[in-house]
Amino acid sequence: MNILVTGGCGYIGSHTVLALLEAGHKVTIIDNLCNSSREVLERIKNITGINELTFVEMDIRDADGLEIVFNHYKFDAVMHFAGLKSVGESTKKPLEYYDNNVGGTAILLNVMKHANVKTLVFSSSATVYGDPISVPISETAPTGGTTNPYGTTKLMIEQMLSDLYASDQSWNIARLRYFNPVGAHESGLIGEDPGGIPNNLMPYITQVASGKLDELSVYGDDYDTADGSGVRDYIHVVDLAAGHLKALDKLEGLATYNLGTGKGYSVLDVIKAFEDVNDIKISYKIAPRREGDIASCYADPTLAESELGWKANKDINQMVRDAWNWQSKNPTGY
Ligand SMILES: NC(=O)c1ccc[n+]([C@@H]2O[C@H](COP(=O)([O-])OP(=O)(O)OC[C@H]3O[C@@H](n4cnc5c(N)ncnc54)[C@H](O)[C@@H]3O)[C@@H](O)[C@H]2O)c1
């Protein structure tokens, strides 16, 4: 297929572009590089040996530019990763988040509609479940009660997609709710490259391991979990990328899938796995809980397995090994 990947230079997008190329698809990336580097394109070409990868530096809010790209390339489908993703930043800059994520997606969908490209795989997030009533969380669990503007943008886009589908059932739309993507391609050539202080646990750990940061803060050790620290469902980014290809293959109508492993690991579990696998001590301190954090969040991933034939294969040891492999080979990112 001929596929447009928005945000394809970013962390999850780049791993998915790699998987798409390896599966024989033709790929065009649109990215404004606000949180990524052009260097990723060379790395993808190095890994795959495939040179036919088109890149257009463009903001998805540029409707006229998008129109031209759609007319020229005649896509069959769109994978839409472009967006801002920092929970903390979204509380300080909510309008930028609504404009980029919600406004940008509305513009993209309009252009898709005009070009009659009606197949979309969208990056949603487990944050749409807010503070879950129970775990594991299945797709039928209530959504809402999001604790930050970032999460609310994902919820609003999900709603926009279901309204769009209700108005025109010739669309095929997958809403993929990611849990906590971590790790990197096993080559160590592509990975997560957060600018500034990382927001997420794994890049924080790897930067403490490399000496770039002094110490990790574990926010809360008094949650109602086995060791008191927060529990999350970490999923290897290569497994996550594979889930997108399965979703594209099987896509029919409007579908929503959790992409997680179904296993919860606490912050302290992840630190220990990292230390054991990589033989590096991680210096950490216990800090107060952060507002908006929840105790425990992990997926019931059985729907994706039964309907898409997709299941995460890589375990926590591979996640921490590959995260460190990427960080140690690229201490300053791309
Ligand atoms: N990483 C996670 O923990 C996580 C979890 C759940 C959902 N998601 C979602 O998955 C998607 C990809 O996440 P990621 O971790 O790869 O993030 P990322 O920041 O690495 O990638 C996003 C890419 O989109 C680009 N971009 C942003 N706004 C754009 C715009 N207006 N026009 C064009 N390009 C734009 C950025 O430059 C970047 O390359 C995002 O939508 C994110 O919200 C991420």
Specify the residue for token string 């290897």.
236
Q: What residue owns the CA closest to ligand 1's atom 13?
A: 12
**What number does the ligand 1 atom closest to the CA of 150 have?**
43
pLDDT at 292: 81
pLDDT at residue 64 tops 90: yes
Confidence of residue 197 (pLDDT cuts 50, 70, 90): confident
pLDDT at residue 162 tops 90: yes
Q: What residue owns the CA closest to ligand 1's atom 27?
A: 83
CA gap 241, 251 in Å, rounded: 15
The CA 226 to ligand 1 mean position distance, Å, reads 32
Kindly report, residue by residue over 229-239, the tens digit of the pLDDT. Answer: 999 999 999 99
- Is the CB of 181 within 6 Å of ligand 1? yes
- Is the CB of 12 within 6 Å of ligand 1? yes
Evaluate the omega torsion of the peptide bond into residue 136 and state whether it is cis, within 30 degrees of 0: yes
Mean pLDDT score, 160-175: 98
Kindly report, residue by residue over 291-328, the tens digit of the pLDDT. Answer: 888 999 999 999 999 999 999 999 999 999 999 999 99
The CA 63 to ligand 1 mean position distance, Å, reads 19
Q: Does residue 190 sit within a domain?
A: no
The CA 108 to ligand 1 mean position distance, Å, reads 15
With pLDDT > 90 as the criterion, what percentage of the chain qualifies? 96
pLDDT at 286: 97
Q: Does residue 126 sit within a domain?
A: yes
Q: Does residue 214 sit within a domain?
A: no
> CB neighbours of 112 closer than 8 A, spacing ≥ 6?
70, 78, 118, 120
Q: Does residue 212 sit within a domain?
A: no
pLDDT at residue 199 tops 90: no
- Is the CB of 61 within 6 Å of ligand 1? yes
Q: What residue owns the CA closest to ligand 1's atom 7?
A: 125
- Is the CB of 85 within 6 Å of ligand 1? yes
- Is the CB of 125 within 6 Å of ligand 1? yes
Q: Does residue 97 sit within a domain?
A: yes
Q: What residue owns the CA closest to ligand 1's atom 12?
A: 81
Mean pLDDT score, 255-270: 98
Q: What residue owns the CA closest to ligand 1's atom 1?
A: 181
Q: Does residue 77 sit within a domain?
A: yes
Q: What residue owns the CA closest to ligand 1's atom 6?
A: 125
Nearest to 170 by CA among 72, 254, 55: 254
The CA 314 to ligand 1 mean position distance, Å, reads 22
Could you list the residue range(s) of the whole structural domain that residue 69 is in?
Answer: 2-183+234-260
CA gap 35, 7 in Å, rounded: 9
**What number does the ligand 1 atom closest to the CA of 36 have?**
39
pLDDT at 195: 84
CATH of the domain at 252: 3.40.50.720
> CB neighbours of 233 closer than 8 A, spacing ≥ 6?
126, 179, 180, 260, 261, 262, 263, 264, 265, 297, 298, 299
Kindly report, residue by residue over 4-14, the tens digit of the pLDDT. Answer: 999 999 999 99
Nearest to 333 by CA among 161, 149, 210: 210
Question: How many Cβ atoms sit within 10 Å of the Cβ of residue 113?
Answer: 13
Q: What residue owns the CA closest to ligand 1's atom 32?
A: 59
The CA 329 to ligand 1 mean position distance, Å, reads 23
Kindly report, residue by residue over 16-54, the tens digit of the pLDDT. Answer: 999 999 999 999 999 999 999 999 999 999 999 999 999
pTM: 0.98
With pLDDT > 70 as the criterion, what percentage of the chain qualifies? 100
Kindly report, residue by residue over 107-154, the tens digit of the pLDDT. Answer: 999 999 999 999 999 999 999 999 899 999 999 999 999 989 999 999
CA gap 35, 195 in Å, rounded: 7
Q: Does residue 334 sit within a domain?
A: no
234-236 and 231-232 beta bridge pairing: unpaired
Confidence of residue 287 (pLDDT cuts 50, 70, 90): very high
Q: Does residue 208 sit within a domain?
A: no
Catalytic residues: 150
The CA 326 to ligand 1 mean position distance, Å, reads 19
Number of folded domains that form the chain: 1
Contact 35, 104 (CB under 8 A): no
The CA 6 to ligand 1 mean position distance, Å, reads 9
**What number does the ligand 1 atom closest to the CA of 82 have?**
24
In the chain, the N- to C-terminal Cα span, in Å, equals 29
DSSP character string of 35-51: TS-THHHHHHHHHH---
- Is the CB of 29 within 6 Å of ligand 1? no
